[in-house]
Amino acid sequence: MKTTAIIASIAAVATANSCVRNSNGLYTYTVITDNTVPDISGVCGGLWDNLKQFSQCSASASFCGANGANNVLKRQFSVPNICNAGMVEASWWDATKNKYGGISC
| C-beta of residue 105 within 8 angstroms of C-beta of residue 71 | no
pTM to 2 decimal places: 0.78
Over residues 31-43, the pLDDT tens digits come to 999 989 999 999 9
Domains of the chain: 17-96 (3.30.70)
Over residues 39-85, the pLDDT tens digits come to 999 999 999 999 999 999 999 999 999 998 789 999 999 999 999 99
List % helix, strand, coil for the chain (3-state, nearest 5): 35, 30, 35
